[in-house]
A and B are shown apart, each in its own frame.
Chain A
Amino acid sequence: MDQRSDREPHTRLVRPTVAYSKGMENLRLAIAIAIAKSAGFLSKSLGRGSGETLPGRVLLTLCPNAIELLSASRVIILVSGTNGKTSTTKELVTQVRTVGTVVTSGSGSNLTRGVAGALMQDSVFAVLEVDELHLPSVVAATNPALVLLLNLSRDQLHRMHEVKRVASRWHEMCKSADPSTLFVADVDDPFVNYAITGAASAVRVSFGAASGGRHPDGAVCPSCGRYLDWIEGKYHCECGLSNEYADHTYESGSAGYRNFVLASIAADMVGVHNSISNIALRTDYRGMERATEKVFAGVKARLRLTKNPASWTEALAGVVGDNVILVLNAREVDGIDTSWIWDVSYANLAGKKVVVTGERGADLAYRIHVEGVESTLVDTFDEAIALFGLGSVEVLAAYTAFFGLVNR
């Protein structure tokens, strides 16, 4: 557990509220916001989409530096990483709300336009989930007080190309960020650790040995390119990159637990009282894992988002029942290349009733077949759910499929 005693929050992180300087720029911003808000209202009332990203897009078109202007007067906190952005952001919002007003971006709108949209409302704090590749530009535009870096692993390779490429961009971002920006990072992830070696101020968090063992993509040191030897979740490279030293060391745990701890440390840094001492008291962090219960055609379904090898592995470990539906799509946000499904072991589904569906269901049905797990392959989710009578089922669904079901 954390060895440090409770102490005063980092008050230096709480920036004074400065009034907008008068002038044409702010008039322009005010008009742009008014237009963007009514565009969002109009879009919603016409039933066009969620109306969530449109206002941000309109705002940025009318006032390209809106994010800079709207960030200047508040404490900006950004959350990024391959997995757990949405749930960690939610947890951080809940904690930060105890000390001030907070605006946040809606889930799934973590690109620049989502950030712009969220900042249209006044607040003391803004806690924003940001896409990994968009993070450097959002950091440059918002000059954040704190950036929480969760993890980096293979995801949407057709867009990200390489994990190392994203880590290198983060490294440059940390180097060029304002020295007052504090980076809170999980250093058990060598990519994240490498990124913050460029930062002027960073809080290093480790979950000790055996935190899931070796990072699945961490065979090579992202800093120097040497082979990285792992011993029970610990790594130490000749160049100095290592997770043997951390500012906070916690027990290992599920991804939900780790993200809860990281959110609590970030909350502490921006002045939330007792957030670190509460870590040991809280047991409900499992609720942070993105699971939603819903009833479809009389069948109780527990939905979990699974979008890459790391989140599939985490979700599969949580399957306890005997009825399972797997849904795989391969649209842009899912990643249009499904080859990663071969890097996940589905062996613990053996003996269960498994139904596979989704636009790329055949890919998954064949993959688990080779591992000895037989399934029924059907065209639609409704056909899949109909195979479970009135019982209950655990549904592991890829990104677009998950949100499609949640919003149904």
Chain B
Amino acid sequence: MKIIRIHNELLGTYGDRGNADVLAYRAGLAGISTRVIDVSYRDAIPHDGDIYLLGGAEDAAQILSCNALSGGSLHGAVEKGAVVLAICAGFQILGKSFYANNNEVRGLGLLNVTTVPGTQRYVGDIKIHSDLLGIDLTGFENHGGKTLLGAGAQSFGSVVVGHGNGESGVDGAVSGNIFGTYLHGPVLARNPEFADLLLSRAHGSPVKVDDPLADHYAALRLRLVK
């Protein structure tokens, strides 16, 4: 299984590189061999990845990364059914447009969402309920953008604590195998079930990993974020 970590030097503000490490570690426990491929800004994006990861970024870095991806390199992989997890700035990049350095920037259009400047900076612990997983997830959010879902777009979860997409009471967006969310922390470290969902989608059959320390950590965060 190929895990592609996209532009971590640009999209890695919130420890986002950890999501790839967690996926590789859990896949290993499940007996699936993986390779984490770091693709930097100067590199071409491989088309044969199984899971693509995009993380958080400061404004200038977000614009650079979006420009590098705008050639359509990610679209091909998505059409082949690859799994994509995009956090914070990465999530905004996948939408139709976002704001960075006070300018509107055209996104990749892989998710039917638009991001506009928020009424405040959304900073703090966040807890959401995911219908897809049937559980609560925790993370930390730190963003100035407010994301609006387009017609027919599906959110990733409903907000229990924090802000998510802004004041709408929901967080993120899901379309097929593409997941966007404002939860960092990194999100897969704090939510092992979510990591296993992505592995299952990429593997084509259910992956359930047993790692008591991961479960202990996830449960602790769920109890403490309120």
Contacts and interface: CB of A to CB of B under 8 A. Distances in A.
Contact of B25 (A154, A161, A365, A370): A370
Given A161-B142, A163-B58, A339-B186, 16 more contacts: A154-B13, A161-B123, A162-B58, A162-B59, A219-B41, A220-B61, A225-B60, A225-B63, A336-B125, A337-B140, A338-B140, A339-B184, A342-B17, A342-B21, A362-B217, A370-B18
Contact of A164 (B60, B121, B125, B185): B60
B133 interface: no
Interface in B1-56: 9-10, 12-18, 21-22, 25, 41-42
Interface string A323-344: 0000000000000111111110
Nearest to A366: B217
Contact of A339 (B61, B140, B220): B140
Interface of A: 154, 157-158, 161-164, 219-222, 225-227, 229, 336-343, 362-363, 365-367, 369-371
Tell me which of B18, B21, B58, B140 has the highest count of chain A C-beta atoms within 10 A of its own C-beta: B58
A312 B22 CA distance: 21
Tell me which of B9, B17, B42, B124 has the highest count of chain A C-beta atoms within 10 A of its own C-beta: B9
A162 B56 CA distance: 11
A158 B142 contact: yes
Contacts of B120: none
Contacts of A365: 213, 217
B153 interface: no
A317 to B, nearest CB: 19
Contacts of A343: 12, 15, 17
B189 interface: yes
Nearest to B60: A225
**What band does the interface of chain B fall in when counting residues whose beta carbon is under 8 Å from A?**
35 or more
B189 A366 contact: yes
A342 B142 contact: no
A174 to B, nearest CB: 20
B10 A362 contact: no
Contacts, number: 87
A334 to B, nearest CB: 13
A370 B18 CA distance: 9
A371 B58 contact: no
B64 A157 contact: no
A366 B21 contact: no
Nearest to B40: A219
B22 A220 contact: no
B38 to A, nearest CB: 13
Given A161-B142, A367-B189, A339 B64 contact: no
Closest 4 CB pairs of A and B: A342-B18, A342-B15, A339-B15, A225-B60
